[in-house]
A and B are shown apart, each in its own frame.
Chain A
Amino acid sequence: MAEKATTPPILQGPTAKEKKYDRQLRLWAASGQAALENAKVLFLNSNSGVVGVETLKNLILPGVGSFTIVDETKVSELDLGVNFFLEESSLGRWRAEETCKFLQELNPEVKINALRESIDAFADDPNRLEQYSLVLLIGPTRNARVLERICQHADKSSIPLFYIHCQGFFSQFSLQLPAQFPIVDTHPDPASTQDLRLLNPWPELLELLEKKTGNLGSLSDHDHGHVPYVLILLHFLNVWKASHDGQAPANYSEKKQFKALVESGARTNNSEGGEENFDEAAAAVLKSLNTPSISSGLREVFESDDCQNLKSTSANFWVIANGIQKFHTSHNGILPLPGALPDMKAQSSDYIQLQNIYKAKARSDLAAVTQTIRSSEQEVGRKSSIEQAEIEAFCKGAQFVKLIHGRPIRVAKCSAEIDWSDRAKALSQEIQDPDSLLPIYFAFLALDRYQDDIDRIQKLRKPTDDQQFNDIMAGRVVSGAVPPLPTFAESAHFSTPAVDPEHDPKPWPRFDIPEARETFDNVVKELDRADWGELHNIAALTGGMVAQEVIKVITKQYVPVNNTCVLDGIASKTAVFKI
């Protein structure tokens, strides 16, 4: 580098990569970025697939590591009207290769491969998915078997899979996650994550309390107006307990009384007519004095078998969860202290001192949890020990960890009913709501079933009998073994999925609610109006939604959809269903 010695370097300035990715690193940090860069995304396309291409665009730009585009089709005029990553010169060439070329321009740092073969190959070979970290599959597939096999292979290899439909003004995607998908870094709202542990103060905190509020009444106005609100609350808690048998305010009305007590401590003989730190203390009463409890999500984690019975093969998540649970039990129901302190009116030095007390406590709780984990690791004979940073992240966000139970994608076949099993009741309740968007999902299932039926009929015809095929396509009734091809609208009427809480194997349709039936029919009419086609706006919108979800799944940050999302582009609404 021929840099002049006289130019001082910019201290700790960002690298070129940090500059380029600055706006996203503020969301998922270097750890999330590293996860994206290591990911390998497989895109299986057997339709116009603009929704998939738009998803890829939104993943290539932020630097997801590598992509494989599988597509056996050549570029047609139809593609040019709806796909931005093709141009006139692409006509007649392989679509996988052409899309790959134009997408690659977006980010030279990512690797994109094109495979011009049928996605059926991925259905036939169970091992072909294994090298990928995530699969995007566009529906409908050629038939139900292709979908079913690919979903099974993904499930077997614990690879997250998105199955996506986009037609006309509607779209839908389902996410099949591994059976257990834990997320530690859920990015909860900072305001909801404060744990000040006011009801269980520890010696160092009490020592500071005594020093700063031991003679609150005789403090100068300046000092009195700068006592951090955490100490004000602790001080008045002691006052309250002295007259309440040593008990802290427990219910709403007691908390309101306690709040009044805190407010009465403020000095009002000044120009503001009050003190900001006392205002902050009063405002924090309701949210800061709750008895320690754990979220339902964390309870579920604690109570699960994987947490209770560690094995040498247990995932890090369960080993840490086990350690935190033991801490929780041995510390009378409190969790390790996260250690963050919100900003509050205070002298700089007092605030920093208080902040250090919280941080030190968080570190000592972490040490206790780590010690437990180390002995469990030995006990169950794990070969390597979990990194401290991973334990720390869990301790900080323990209250907000999420464990998602992945569920299989439902496959609509022309030959069989879908088994809704444990979801039947919830879905049949959902459909009672006349405004529900669930009928849109059912319409796409009907489309899959229709496609499966068409594929079946096509296989019935003799390969040489073109006249018969043309007759079928033109809707003419053909004598012989081959039934006529119905239109989608005709077919859909008979292929509404039955959702029956009693598992009654009655034939479709089973919409008891006329509004739901009407919504379904209207969705089918609107899909039929679009004639299998994608609208670019809906594809781009859905591609944005899917890309957000892919990023959340790969980074294991924030919380992905569980597990099916529907978009109504006419009403500009979305809904999420657990299917």
Chain B
Amino acid sequence: MVEISAYSNTIGQEVDELSRTYLDNLLNKPGPASDPDWVPGPETIGALESSKVLVIGAGGLGCEILKNLALSGFKDIHVIDMDTIDVSNLNRQFLFREADVGKFKAEVAAAFVEKRVKGVKIIPYNGKIQDKDEEYYMQFKMVICGLDSIEARRWINATLVDMVDMEDPESLKPLIDGGTEGFKGQARVILPTMNSCIECQLDMHAPRAAVPLCTLATIPRQPSHCIEWAHIIAWEEHRKDEVLDTDDPEHITWLYQKALARAQEFNIPGVTYSLTQGVVKNIIPAIASTNAIIAASCCNEAFKIATSCNPFLQNYMMYSGDEGVYTYTFETERKEDCPVCGNLARTLTVNPDMTLQDFIDSLGERAEAQLKKPTLRSEEKSLYSQFPQSLRQQTAPNLTKKLSELVVDGEEIGVSDPAFTIAFKYKLIFSS
């Protein structure tokens, strides 16, 4: 078998091209599913090699993505990550070794893959995606995200949607996004303004319901209640001048001990160091194999988009390995009232007696909004503004007012959050 394949492949090939043979085979011939107008051969191969792509995140998914792109014929790769390497990364982020702990992920990952795969150029940036402007993002053919933060996804999504200039096809940058949790994950392809964007799909990734503060303060029942109490209430009470660093073992130990003492007071079993860490850092289980699946799925789509050798994913694939193997591939719909890529205001039915503060809190919990520090404007005036401080003080009295005192039934309000370049439009309908 090996002899045969080597034999048939080597005829008439230059030796230095040999390492590319598997890929070139595909790109030199049309397949049954490739577009009838597709042109195989050097033109396509050239397009692949000259595609400049951006990888966001050099963690569990990012390490895999860089490797996969390098071995898929991409030669011009950039990578952004602000994080440094932690020992708990080593069970899956396979470009890092114990000696690398503390170094920047983007830098170590880029250097490793560049060294291993000949002819690939990878440029790292150790910092935040928000440091870069549209001009920077405009240079790429596409963006591939391996992030663990919803905020960062929403930011890059809004930025790429915003960049689309209908007159200039080059301004449309496909966004390929992967995410994992345990044995599950998803890969999706977003063509900004053309199909459903990350913001349209936000309610599919709803945050876990928060435990009410009064439960934490007065009637804890679960070990996590005791830990959240230590995290939110005890720290504020005893160490409010210090910034809690969830990576500092001393801080976690302190929280753990406070939580444990509280649990003992209420006879609640089950507070452990590991659980404390899990609750406080909101740790999501992560393993190499799931990262491999999702990252490779993203890169497979990137390869198909860059070469057009076969049709790409329209537009969402979810994977679950909990029970056997289960995937669901489907097309998510664009939302006309999406705050990022739509233009209609979203209708929201509210109790007119609700206070503005309660309304703001509800925006944090709503699956499609998830805004932590929103600023609100009605058609007439500023309802509540986080910044600057003078405006915040000026608008703070509105927080205790009822909605009916601030807006009229059916009025549109604008909501923005400094974490995103997004302005939500809500049309408030009073419930009767």
Query: Measuring CB to CB, which residues of chain A are less than 8 angstroms from any residue of chain B?
Result: 10-14, 16, 18-27, 46-48, 54, 57-59, 61-63, 73, 76-82, 84, 87-88, 105-107, 140-142, 168-169, 186-187, 226, 343-344, 346-349, 351-352, 451, 454, 473, 521-522, 525-526, 529-538, 540-541, 543-545, 547-549, 551-552, 558-562, 565, 569-574, 576
Contact = CB atoms under 8 A, between A and B. Distances in A.
Contacts of B22: 48, 78, 81-82, 530-531, 533-535
A574 B266 contact: no
Contact of A473 (B8, B94, B187, B304): B8
Given A522-B32, A572-B313, A12 B72 contact: no
Contacts of A565: 324-325
A498 B406 CA distance: 73
B362 interface: no
27 contacts: A13-B253, A14-B274, A21-B91, A24-B287, A26-B278, A48-B5, A76-B6, A79-B19, A140-B1, A141-B1, A348-B220, A351-B219, A352-B266, A529-B25, A529-B26, A529-B29, A529-B31, A531-B5, A537-B299, A540-B64, A540-B295, A544-B288, A545-B321, A548-B325, A559-B322, A572-B329, A573-B327
B117 interface: yes
A19 B324 contact: no
Nearest to A54: B292
Interface string B109-127: 0000000111000000000
A12 B253 CA distance: 9
Given A12-B273, A63-B91, A105 B32 contact: no
Contacts of A61: 90-92, 94, 288
B325 A561 contact: yes
Given A57-B94, A531-B9, A548-B290, A23 B323 contact: no
B310 A169 contact: yes
A24 B285 contact: yes
A511 B212 CA distance: 60
A141 B219 CA distance: 64
Contacts of A57: 94, 288, 292
B308 interface: no
Interface of B: 1-2, 4-9, 15-16, 18-23, 25-26, 29-33, 64, 67-68, 71-72, 87-88, 90-92, 94, 97, 116-118, 182-183, 187, 219-222, 249-250, 253, 256-257, 266-268, 272-274, 277-278, 283-297, 299-301, 303-304, 310-311, 313, 317, 319, 321-327, 329
B408 to A, nearest CB: 25
Given A21-B91, A531-B8, A537 B300 contact: yes
Contacts of A547: 288-289, 292
B117 A84 contact: yes
A343 B118 CA distance: 55
Nearest to B71: A536
Contacts of A349: 266-267
Contacts of A186: 323
Given A349-B266, A549-B325, A343 B222 contact: yes
Contact of A10 (B32, B249, B283, B323): B249
A538 B295 CA distance: 11
A574 B257 CA distance: 47
A573 B329 contact: yes
B191 to A, nearest CB: 15
Contacts of B90: 20, 61, 107
A14 B86 CA distance: 14
A-B pairs with the 8 shortest C-beta distances? A544-B292, A533-B22, A81-B19, A77-B18, A544-B293, A541-B296, A547-B289, A540-B296
Given A20-B88, A46-B1, A352-B266, A84 B67 contact: yes
